[in-house]
Structure 1
Amino acid sequence: MKAAENFQGKHVLVLGLAKSGYAAARLLSKLGAVVTVNDGKPLEENPAAQELIGQGMNVVCGEHPLSLLDSQVDLIVKNPGIPYSNTLLIEADKKNIPIQTEIELAYQISEADIIAITGSNGKTTTTTLITEMLHHSGRTPLVAGNIGIVACEVAEQATDDDVIVMELSSFQLMGTDTFRPKISVLLNIFDAHLDYHGTKEDYIAAKARIQSKQQASDYLVYNASDDVVTQIAQSSEATKIGFSTVDLVEDGLDVVEGYIRYKKTAIIAVSDIMLPGKHNIENILAAAGAAILAGASLTQIQHVLRTFGGVEHRLQFVKKHDERLFYNDSKATNILATSKALEAFDKPVILLAGGLDRGNSFDSLIPSLSGVKSVVTYGETKEKIAQTARSINIQSVQVVNQLDEAVRIAYNESEEGDVILLSPACASWDQFKTFEERGQAFIQAINNL
């Protein structure tokens, strides 16, 4: 680890546990910091907090008392999910106490180069593709951040022979200060997480932090067809590599006459790519650009693109059963993600959708429903989505309570050659703890047919 001595003797408040807070507390203690941990969950229900007490740390549970700021606090490392509207954070800001996420901690100690990926959609697919391309090219990629292991845990073990491939959310990036990846990837920016950030401008500013400290010796791989992303890129000091599926990009990546190109050199025919979906071509361009810059070979990039079938729960091909194709897109927790999934197919689609009701309508899904022959809805939003489907005269609209019922109905409605797609357009929390649990339930229901 580099710069480990920077934390010796510092008084650090770790706000919020979960995986990232627990890992940060342990690492900071190992680096010689005086660590206080504060978590909202009561101690008797909090095994992670109990374990940290056993390791000699001061732990305060059940609330976030302002008295924690009465003694010396040099730094706060907060869980990304805790909003800056938290009263303790507001008071800390008034006292000019630095507030960071463990992503900043990971950067400061990492001996390995970092490839950082962010965007409103496509982060996980792009991160996984980069990792696969580097792995097959003989590099040692370590996945961290929003997927994989907590970033500071990975950075603690990484050497200068490794490369950390880090998926980052706006929540994580907002808590960075000196963070400077060797390669940053900025995929797209849509309206998202405004309940956390307050305004779209603040959301954009958080995303833009991925490249804000980069210099000319670093690289920014960016979507040259996204106006917001392009504006960010124009102000970046990094060496810029653009990508686009609609425009020519002479010094970057584009698609010409059915071929993906890098600096005018054809890499692979789009028809040879296994991963479905027009939107995934953007992810592929971004991943190929970052992987090339990090030393991946074109031969191995081609191999990955011919064999990679998708990230689990993100437009994941599950199986072919009775000549029906089943796809698991449980990670589609909003309308935009479901729209992208529907646009990926030129076969008839039976859509399974529904979940937590956030109070929004589903009218913005209508333009993407043109290729849908049947809709099966379930969960809290079942009636809302069904009403939207009926409003445009979808051939068949069925309403059920549970996902396993929806799978059986969808199969009975289907014909050979149909795509049966779970793409909920909603969060999972009405019936499942996570979108992963929902996706596994979908796969199990398919296997039970």
Structure 2
Amino acid sequence: MTPVNEFNGKKVFVLGLARSGRAVALLLEQLGAQVTVNEGQALEDSPQAQELLGQGIRVVAGGHPVELLDEGFELMVKNPGIPYNHPMVVKAKELGLPIWTEVEVAYRVYPHSMIGITGSNGKTTTTMMVAAILEEAGRQPVLAGNIGFPASEVLPQVTTEQQVVMELSSFQLMGVEAFHPHIAVINNILPSHLDYHDSFEEYRKAKWAIQSQMTADDFLILNWNQALSQELAQETQAQVLAFSTQEKVNGAYLEDGYLVYQGEPVMLAAQLGVPGEHNIENALAAILVVKQLGVDNEAIQRALAAFSGVKHRLQEVAEIEGVRFYNDSKSTNILATQKALSGFENSQVILIAGGLDRGNDLSELLPDIQGLKAMVILGEVAPRLEALAEEAGVASYPASEVVAATKQAFELAQKGDVVLFSPANASWDMYKNFEERGEVFLAAVKELEEA
């Protein structure tokens, strides 16, 4: 861990626990800060709060009294999931406190070369692809951020021989100042999390913050299929490298079925271990990252051919009686489901979709669902999905929840078909998060396997 004196004696307010809050509180205490943790859960319901108390860290649990902030704090470090309209955050703004996420604290104890990856869709898969290639090349990748372990838990232990790969959400990036990756990827920027961000413009700024400290010695990797990326490329000090499935670019692109880096074929797209055009984009981004680190084509080929996907992101689960099952629970928006469908022949797909109704324009899905074998629909948005299916000329079947939907889809399928669980909507009407929803689907498929 790099010696850091800036936190010694500083009064720091940590808002919210979970894993990242616990990790940053322990790190700040180690760095000599006077830490107060504020957790909404009651003390008896929060093992993390009890642990911190046992370590001698001050914890105020069971609510968020705004008067706590009148104690002369110099910094707030908030859990990324807590929105900026939360009363404690509003009060901190009024007091002029810097408001960071734990990524910023962690970076200051490890200000060395790292890779940062963000985007509305594809960031988890790209992060895992990069890590898989670096592992194959013997580069000792360490995952942190929005995937793996909290940055403030991992980075203090990392050596300069290891390569840090960080997946970063817009929530995390809204709270960074000095954070400075050597290589950054923005897979895409599309309307998302607008219930957290006040506007698309605020969301865009949060994503764009990943490059705010980058210089001409750094590399920013952008999706050239997006007009917005091309516009933003004019607004960075970093060297811009592009990836595209539509044209030759300064970077990596798809040409004659090959993934090509700066004119050199790296591997056939058909060799990728995961289907879909979106995974070709993810692979191109990953190739650009590792090529800046000198990784050879053989390591890239081996890693990407063996790459089987990320849990809940177009994850191939099983084949039962010739029917393949895919878990794409992480598809919480329309674009993600469009990308998932692009990897299959619609006439062989039974799509399970539905969830929280956020009022999205479902008509954007219309061309993508035409020709589907069937749809099984569920959740709050089901009536609107039923109308959409009818407009597309696709038979739809209602289901009360994911287990019933999975069984219904299997009954409709024949050998050679695909059951694709790609909801296109958030999970919160029925499940705690997309992971829980995906686990229910996985359990339902396992039950069918064992029947």
Give TM-score scaled by structure 1 length.
0.96
CA root-mean-square deviation: 1.5
Cα pair 2:370 2:393 within 8 Å, conserved: no
Aligned to 1:128: 128
What are the equivalent positions in structure 2 for 1:272-283 lying under 5 Å apart?
272-283=271-282
Displacement, 1:383? 2.9
**Is 1:24 equivalent to 2:32 in the alignment?**
no
Aligned to 1:432: 431
Displacement, 1:261? 0.7
Indicate the SS of the match to 1:254: strand
Aligned to 2:5: 5
What are the equivalent positions in structure 2 for 1:82-97 lying under 5 Å apart?
82-97=82-97
Equivalent-residue separation in structure 2 for 1:444 and 1:85 (angstroms): 37
Aligned to 1:351: 351
What are the equivalent positions in structure 2 for 1:170-319 lying under 5 Å apart?
170-249=170-249, 251-319=250-318
Write the letter of the residue equivalent to 1:148.
G
Task: List runs of 5+ in structure 2 lacking aligned partners.
Answer: none
Write the letter of the residue equivalent to 1:341.
A
Cα pair 1:111 1:160 within 8 Å, conserved: no
Q: For residues 11-56 of structure 1, give each alpha carbon's deviation from its aligned partner in whole angstroms, at most 9, with x where no partner exists.
A: 1100111111111101100111100111222223222112212211
Bigger mean CA deviation after superposition, 132-141 or 318-327: 318-327
Displacement, 1:141? 0.6
Cα pair 1:118 1:167 within 8 Å, conserved: yes
Displacement, 1:360? 4.0
**Is 1:443 equivalent to 2:442 in the alignment?**
yes
Indicate the SS of the match to 2:345: coil
Equivalent-residue separation in structure 2 for 1:383 and 1:211 (angstroms): 42
Write the letter of the residue equivalent to 1:197.
H
Displacement, 1:363? 2.4
Indicate the SS of the match to 1:8: coil
Displacement, 1:193? 1.4
Indicate the SS of the match to 1:225: coil
Q: For residues 125-160 of structure 1, give each alpha carbon's deviation from its aligned partner in whole angstroms, at most 9, with x where no partner exists.
A: 000000000000000111111111001111011110
Cα pair 1:374 1:397 within 8 Å, conserved: yes
Aligned to 2:118: 118
Equivalent-residue separation in structure 1 for 2:409 and 2:97 (angstroms): 55
Displacement, 1:370? 1.8
Displacement, 1:4? 2.3
Displacement, 1:221? 1.1
Equivalent-residue separation in structure 1 for 2:177 and 2:230 (angstroms): 22
Bigger mean CA deviation after superposition, 407-416 or 88-97: 88-97
What are the equivalent positions in structure 2 for 1:142-157 lying under 5 Å apart?
142-157=142-157
What are the equivalent positions in structure 2 for 1:20-169 lying under 5 Å apart?
20-110=20-110, 112-169=112-169
Aligned to 2:339: 340
Q: For residues 365-390 of structure 1, give each alpha carbon's deviation from its aligned partner in whole angstroms, at most 9, with x where no partner exists.
A: 21210241100112333333222212
Cα pair 2:134 2:141 within 8 Å, conserved: yes
Aligned to 1:417: 416
Equivalent-residue separation in structure 2 for 1:295 and 1:431 (angstroms): 46
Equivalent-residue separation in structure 1 for 2:229 and 2:65 (angstroms): 39
Equivalent-residue separation in structure 2 for 1:322 and 1:112 (angstroms): 51
Cα pair 1:383 1:399 within 8 Å, conserved: no
Indicate the SS of the match to 1:372: coil
Displacement, 1:217? 1.2
Equivalent-residue separation in structure 2 for 1:223 and 1:353 (angstroms): 27
Equivalent-residue separation in structure 2 for 1:72 and 1:163 (angstroms): 38
Cα pair 2:258 2:268 within 8 Å, conserved: yes
Equivalent-residue separation in structure 2 for 1:404 and 1:94 (angstroms): 48
Equivalent-residue separation in structure 2 for 1:199 and 1:439 (angstroms): 29
Cα pair 2:2 2:156 within 8 Å, conserved: no
Aligned to 1:404: 403
Indicate the SS of the match to 2:393: coil
Equivalent-residue separation in structure 2 for 1:51 and 1:34 (angstroms): 17
